[in-house]
Amino acid sequence: QEEIQEVKDEGNLEVLFNSLDKIVEEAKNREEPAWRPSGIPEEDIRSAVVPYLLKHRSYLRKVLKEKEEENRKVAESVLAGRDRIAELQQLIQARKHAWQ
């Protein structure tokens, strides 16, 4: 009896047993059965991983859309800059010919 009490004290078993009793009491009110592994790890992990992957895919699509829009704006800016350079080159040529 004394050894059992010593083991209970060392492992803080009384608190753990109380915690276990609380979990059992809470489980009595559940209507649906508790989750149990099927034995096929791929299927068991799918329920946890698939929602995360779908959320991450949605996030990546959003970021991709933002980057594509940003790239489109930058491309427009580059084209406008090239047009401005071409105009300035023509102006330079025109003034050069007028000066000569």
What pLDDT, on the 0 to 100 scale, is given for residue 89?
96
What pLDDT, on the 0 to 100 scale, is given for residue 51?
92
Collect all residues with Cβ–Cβ distance below 8 Å to 62 and sequence separation of at least 6: none
Question: What are the helix (H) ranges across the chain?
Answer: 2-10, 13-28, 41-99
| Low-confidence spans in the chain with pLDDT less than 50 | none
Residue with tokens 């991983």: 49
Find out whether 19 and 12 touch, Cβ atoms under 8 Å. no
What pLDDT, on the 0 to 100 scale, is given for residue 76?
97
What pLDDT, on the 0 to 100 scale, is given for residue 69?
98
What pLDDT, on the 0 to 100 scale, is given for residue 32?
78
Output the pTM of the full model: 0.50
